[in-house]
Structure 1
Amino acid sequence: MSTTLARRLGLSDAVVIGLGSMIGAGLFAAFTPAAEAAGSGLLLGLTLAAFVAFCNATSSGQLAAQYPSSGGTYVYGRQRLGDWWGYLAGWCFVIGKTASCAAMAMTAAAYAVPSGWQRPVAACVVLVITAVNLRGVTRTALATRAIVAVVLILLVVLVVACVAGGQADVDRAWSTDGVGIYGIWQSGGLLFFAFAGYARIATMGEEVRDPTRTIPRAIVTALSVAVVLYAVVAVSVLSVLGPDRLAHTAAPLAEAAGAGWPWAEPVVRVAGTLAAIGALLALVAGIGRTTLAMAREGDLPRWMAAVHPTYRIPHHAEIAVGAVVCVLVLVADLRGAIGFSSFGVLLYYAVANAAAYSQDGAHRRWPRALQLMGLVGCVSLVATLPWRSVVVGLLVLAVGVGYRVLRRSAPVAE
């Protein structure tokens, strides 16, 4: 059975998949725990998260140009730093982004239905998204393109409602009274969750046409658009709700839009639901590709390396991811999922920065200083995440290390 994927994605597809991953649950949910950590200082946290994301994006783009195959930093770490570093990156990505999938499904349900229905609806969303992805990557890109277009239009409605609704007070957005450095740093770690989709296309490098040029351009373009969008939305929502009210709402963007224009609240709820679905659509595909790469090397069960003979997608891996996410949405909570996701993904990008730092001049596109700052930024943000997220993350990381040790020590069948 063939395990090779088909190159079907162009630059615009890559940018849209990156945007679809970033303007999902992060934009519609991450502001709440960030406001709880830092109040209005979340804007400083957003700036910090954006800078670390930029460093990571340049590292990912530089590496993807040299190693245009599925797996992202799992592949880059193995090639540049050794098998163990690659494995740790891949394991962190899979566990962190599986938590992201759960957060996105829960966000979609939170904006769409009353609280009593949210968990079963979230599970149904995961099942539908998995089924769409199993039909092939071009359908994933087309569906994400449509969702992104609708969400961007509805976000314009949100901003106009906040500005023109008569409830905005810009002083609420810029007040930093009582905000400490630790809180700002923690908000940056939580808000990094919202940026972590920018390099999704790097994990799909085996399906991109002309990957050496396309992947770096797509990553930087998608991240730039998202940074501007996040800043505008953050200031708008803070100006209406203020940090205290923002820290205690499950649907912050919908509440802000409805404060001045009540009719805008259901419109933004539609946007939140669609955005989270779009992010989930792209993310399940990305996790499937990293799982595929790890299974090819024997770091995960090899049956996950199967590629569908017609649709050319890693169908076993995507089914497994969908099943795990369904379980998570039935037992986890949104804030915990965001913190745990940030833990895994920040460590993943720490390995990416270290790998990019080791590249020679022939493959270097950005100065080493950016990779060094990205590495330090990732580790420092992890250290300031909520302690429960760090403890659970370390335990799950230890499980992954133990699994590989046992697998490597097992006798090889003749």
Structure 2
Amino acid sequence: MSTLRRELGLLEAVVYGVGLILGAGIYAILGEATGVTGGSIVVSFLLAAAIASLTGLSYAELASIFPKAEGDYIYVRKAFDREIIADVTAFGRLSMGVISSAAVALAFSGYLSVFVDVPSVLIAVFLVVLMTGVNFWGIELSTKLNLLFTGIEVAGLLIIIWIGSGSWGDAQVLQAPNGLFGVVNASFLIFFAYLGFGSIVNLAEETEGATVTIPRAIILSIGITTVLYVLVGLSAVALVDWQVLGRSASPLAEVAAVGWGPFGATALGVIALFSTTNTVLILQISTSRLLYGVSKSEYHVFPETFSRVHPSRQTPHYAVALVGLLTIPFVFLDDIGLVAGLANLMLLIVFVLVNVALLKLRYSRPDADRGFRAPLNVGQLSLTAVGGLLTSLGLIVFYIATW
């Protein structure tokens, strides 16, 4: 069989996006980001959300025109008809997927260390191998686990919001010990938290009514997670000193400990294990689907072997295995901030190309069937795509200048 099984509806696609975004953001990078910006982490969340939303609208429109597992690659290829540009896009997305997976696996080890003294790198490698196995087994099992784990991680965030809601007035949201530089730097790190919306498009060939469902899933995922991010960030800095959060490998457990004592820290630590596990799983799924898509015979970006589908499991088994293997070396960097920064850089390069692709396709294919059209237009010019392009370029310049 050469095609993937369509098992996902709007609910499942939104849950995939929400699960991926939440796990990578709040549970993995909150401490690192708060450590550079203090109480103004709330402002950084809002800034990162605005930037992500601009590019998210471009993804939504492009996914409604080309509902393919190869996602970003096919958008750029159709826009420019230049294989080298499309190949750079495919390489960037593949790199982002495996590097991000490594970063979140390291976050899993950080939370596990609250309970037992374990070698972080080896535990992270074990998690990657285990989730590769689940990915191979089938999209139906992966979807069920994703629904369960996402429910658990959202419950954990609601607990944090409930614990901190009475202290929101104490949060110093304009506190910026490192000034504007710190706010922007934190926004760059937090941008890692929004990588999930770009990966939703890779599930298009396993989604029913993809031309409409995928755009809706992207918009809903960004909206839902932004509300949760802002409220959790507000609760965190209201209850715990920003410097303590910045030093912690398990920041939400620190927040829960203030409200519920040792039991709270334990409960959030366990929930964070589910959350980060869920994120690694979804990253492995979406990245392997991208690899599967760009390895099809009409592209030959990678050997056609990786576009083969297992006859009984109906998953791209060779692509699944390669993505798992490519993830492991980045785990050995053993630095969440560094790994997340590298993932962001690759992601932002892809975002630049995706926004330019939409701008070009608006003129070269104005009559293409669209299940969704980005708002705020002047004629065929998409203002949101222009905004996504400029902000992505700005963050790239910022990252390179501060390397």
TM-score by length of 1: 0.88
Inter-CA distance 49–177: structure 2 relative to 1 (3 Å threshold): closer
Q: Deviations over 1:128-151 (max 9, x none)?
A: 111111111122111100111112
Residue 71 of structure 2 is aligned to residue 57 of structure 1: no
Q: Deviations over 1:232-261 (max 9, x none)?
A: 100000111232222211111111110232
> Shift of the alpha carbon at 1:110?
1.2
Q: 1:153 aligns with which of 132, 152, 155?
A: 155
Q: Deviations over 1:337-358 (max 9, x none)?
A: 1111111111112211111122
The one-letter amino acid of 2:38's match is G
Unaligned segments of structure 2, at least 5 residues? none
Cα distance in structure 1, aligned partners of 2:192 and 2:10: 24
Cα distance in structure 1, aligned partners of 2:243 and 2:384: 35
In the TM superposition, 1:88-237 aligns within 5 A as 88-113=88-113, 114=116, 116-163=118-165, 168=167, 170-237=169-236
Inter-CA distance 357–244: structure 2 relative to 1 (3 Å threshold): same
Paired-residue identity, %: 25
Q: Are the counterparts in 2 of residues 155 and 271 from structure 1 also a CA contact under 8 Å?
A: no
> Shift of the alpha carbon at 1:47?
1.3
The one-letter amino acid of 1:9's match is L
Which residue of the partner structure matches residue 20 of structure 2?
21
Cα distance in structure 2, aligned partners of 1:112 and 1:67: 41
Q: Are the counterparts in 2 of residues 158 and 264 from structure 1 also a CA contact under 8 Å?
A: no
The one-letter amino acid of 1:379's match is L
Q: Deviations over 1:151-194 (max 9, x none)?
A: 21222222223346xxx464443133544333222211110100
Q: Deviations over 1:80-120 (max 9, x none)?
A: 12322221111111111211101111111211234543222
In the TM superposition, 1:60-99 aligns within 5 A as 60-81=59-80, 82-99=82-99
Which residue of the partner structure matches residue 294 of structure 1?
294
Inter-CA distance 39–319: structure 2 relative to 1 (3 Å threshold): same
Secondary structure in structure 1 of the residue aligned to 2:315: coil
Q: Deviations over 1:259-308 (max 9, x none)?
A: 23211111101111111111111110110011112222222233222211
> Shift of the alpha carbon at 1:211?
0.9
Q: Deviations over 1:46-68 (max 9, x none)?
A: 11110111111111110011001
Which residue of the partner structure matches residue 354 of structure 2?
352
The one-letter amino acid of 2:49's match is A
Q: 2:373 aligns with which of 365, 370, 374?
A: 365
Which residue of the partner structure matches residue 276 of structure 1?
276
Deviates more, 1:261-270 or 1:40-49: 40-49
Secondary structure in structure 2 of the residue aligned to 1:8: coil
> Shift of the alpha carbon at 1:330?
3.1
Q: Are the counterparts in 2 of residues 182 and 384 from structure 1 also a CA contact under 8 Å?
A: no
Which residue of the partner structure matches residue 401 of structure 1?
none
Q: Are the counterparts in 1 of residues 168 and 234 from structure 2 also a CA contact under 8 Å?
A: no
Cα distance in structure 2, aligned partners of 1:122 and 1:29: 13
In the TM superposition, 1:269-348 aligns within 5 A as 269-296=269-296, 297-348=299-350
Cα distance in structure 2, aligned partners of 1:5 and 1:116: 38
Cα distance in structure 1, aligned partners of 2:103 and 2:165: 29
Cα distance in structure 1, aligned partners of 2:18 and 2:282: 9
Deviates more, 1:32-41 or 1:308-317: 32-41
Cα distance in structure 1, aligned partners of 2:171 and 2:91: 40
Which residue of the partner structure matches residue 244 of structure 1?
243
Cα distance in structure 1, aligned partners of 2:138 and 2:392: 33
Q: Are the counterparts in 1 of residues 37 and 186 from structure 2 also a CA contact under 8 Å?
A: yes
Q: Deviations over 1:312-338 (max 9, x none)?
A: 221111111112222322343111111
Cα distance in structure 1, aligned partners of 2:6 and 2:174: 49
Q: Are the counterparts in 2 of residues 56 and 349 from structure 1 also a CA contact under 8 Å?
A: yes
Q: Are the counterparts in 2 of residues 190 and 385 from structure 1 also a CA contact under 8 Å?
A: no
Inter-CA distance 333–179: structure 2 relative to 1 (3 Å threshold): closer
Cα distance in structure 1, aligned partners of 2:302 and 2:184: 34
Cα distance in structure 1, aligned partners of 2:212 and 2:59: 13
Inter-CA distance 13–336: structure 2 relative to 1 (3 Å threshold): same
Q: Are the counterparts in 2 of residues 65 and 213 from structure 1 also a CA contact under 8 Å?
A: yes
Cα distance in structure 1, aligned partners of 2:102 and 2:222: 22
Q: Are the counterparts in 2 of residues 17 and 200 from structure 1 also a CA contact under 8 Å?
A: no
Residue 377 of structure 2 is aligned to residue 378 of structure 1: no
TM-score by length of 2: 0.90
Cα distance in structure 1, aligned partners of 2:171 and 2:230: 15
Q: Provide the aligned length of Structure 1 versus Structure 2.
A: 385
Deviates more, 1:351-360 or 1:177-186: 177-186
